Amino acid sequence: MLTIHHFLIISAALFSIGIFGLLTRRNAVVVLMSIELILNAASLNFIVLGKFVTPGLVTGKIFAIFIIAIAAAEAAVAMAIIVGIFKYRRTVDVEKITDLKW
Amino acid sequence: MLETIAFYFLAILTLGCAVRVVTTPYVFHAALYLVGSLLGIAGYFLMLDAEFLSAVQILVYVGGIVVLIIFAVMLTGEPGGRQAESSWTRTLPAFLVSGGIFAALVYLYSQTEFVRQYPVENNSGGYAQAIGEKLLSLGADGFILPFEVVSVLLVAAMVGAIIVAKKEGGK
C-alpha cells in the first residue's frame, strides 16, 4: 500500500540530487538542469499533497501549473544569458566567469 | 500491487536518471538523462490522478525546455565534449549538504501527521474542467490575477531572452 510518505521521499530525494548537482557541476547548462530537477521536486510535492490532503480541490494542481510556467520563463532567460556569456568569454564554466567577483 | 510495481519502476527511472544528470561528464548525455527524469515525474503525475498535468509536463518540459537546453548545449561548445571534473574537496561537502537536506526532510515527514481534509466541493466534470474554471474565475478562490501576472511574466521573459541573446548592435 502506497502512502503519502513514499511520494514525499521520492520528491525529497529528487530535491537533494538537484542540490548536489547545483553545488558540484561547473558547466552552467548542467547547473540549470539541476534547477529544473529542484523545480520538478517542488511541483511533485504540490501534486502529492493536493491528492492526499485535499482530494476535492484542484489548488495543488494549479500551483504545479504555475511552477511549470515559471520554469519555462526561467529556462528561456537563463539560456539567453548563458549563450550571451559564451559569446564574450568562450566558456560556460561557472568558476571562470568571475567578472562580478570583488 | 500493480500500483506498487509502477511506483518503484518510476522511482528507479526518475532518481536513476537524475543521479546521472548530475554525475555524467558529458553535457549532452546529461540533457538526455534529464528527459528520462522528467518522463518519470510525468508518470508520477499520472499515478496521482493528475493526467492533465502529466500531459503539460511532457509538452512543456520534454517538448520545450529540454529542446532549449539542447540548443544551449550545442551553442556553447562541442556536444561530445567533457565538462571539467569537480575535485573531491567540492564533491564531499556538496554530498554532505544534500544528504543532510534529505535526512532533515525525511525526518520532518516522518514526524508530520498529514490529516486528510475532506473535500468541500466535488468536481463532477473532471478535474481538467475544474482547473480551467478555477484559473479564470474572479471569486475569492479564483486564480485569475496570478494567471494574468504569469502571462505578463512569460511575455517579458521571452522579450528579455531575445534582447539578451541577439547579436550586439544587431539589426
**Optimal mutation site among A22, A33, A34, interface B, most CBs of chain B within 10 A:** A33
Is B161 in Cβ contact with A77 (below 8 Å)? Answer: yes
Residues of chain B contacting A8 with CB distance shorter than 8 Å: 105, 109
Distances (CA, A) of B79 to A35, B62, B166: 21, 19, 22
DSSP letters spanning chain A: ---HHHHHHHHHHHHHHHHHHHHH--BHHHHHHHHHHHHHHHHHHHHHHHHHT-TT--HHHHHHHHHHHHHHHHHHHHHHHHHHHHHHHS--BTTT--TT--
Is B68 in Cβ contact with A76 (below 8 Å)? Answer: yes
Query: Is A1 a residue whose pLDDT tops 80?
Result: no
What local confidence, expressed as pLDDT, does residue B33 receive?
Answer: 94
Is A79 in Cβ contact with B72 (below 8 Å)? Answer: yes
**Optimal mutation site among B33, B52, B65, interface A, most CBs of chain A within 10 A:** B65
Mean pLDDT for A58-68 is 91
What local confidence, expressed as pLDDT, does residue B79 receive?
Answer: 56
Residues of chain B contacting A39 with CB distance shorter than 8 Å: none
What does each of the 171 residues of chain B score in pLDDT, given as a tens digit?
888 999 999 999 999 999 999 998 888 899 999 999 999 999 999 998 888 999 999 999 988 899 999 988 888 876 556 766 777 888 899 999 999 999 999 999 999 888 887 665 555 556 788 888 888 888 777 889 999 999 999 999 999 998 887 766 554
SS3 B38: helix
Q: Which band of pLDDT confidence, cut at 50, 70 and 90, is reported for residue A89?
A: confident
Regarding predicted confidence, which is higher, B39 or A59?
A: B39
In the DSSP assignment, the letter for residue B169 is: T
Is A2 in Cβ contact with B15 (below 8 Å)? Answer: no
What local confidence, expressed as pLDDT, does residue B51 receive?
Answer: 87
A89: distance to nearest CA of chain B, Å? Answer: 11
**In chain B, which residue's Cα lies nearest the Cα of A86?**
B76
DSSP letters spanning B93-107: HHHHHHHHHHHHHHH
Burial of B12 (C-beta count, 10 Å sphere; 0-12/13-18/19+)? exposed
Taking one residue from A and the other from B, the number of pairs with CB-CB distance under 8 angstroms is 233
Which tens digits make up the pLDDT trace of A6-39?
A: 999 999 999 999 999 999 988 889 999 999 999 9
Question: Which pTM was predicted?
Answer: 0.89
What local confidence, expressed as pLDDT, does residue B168 receive?
Answer: 65
Q: Which of B83, B40, B13 is nearest to A30 (CA)?
A: B83
What local confidence, expressed as pLDDT, does residue B25 receive?
Answer: 87
Candidates A19, A56, A71; nearest CB to B120: A56
What local confidence, expressed as pLDDT, does residue B169 receive?
Answer: 56
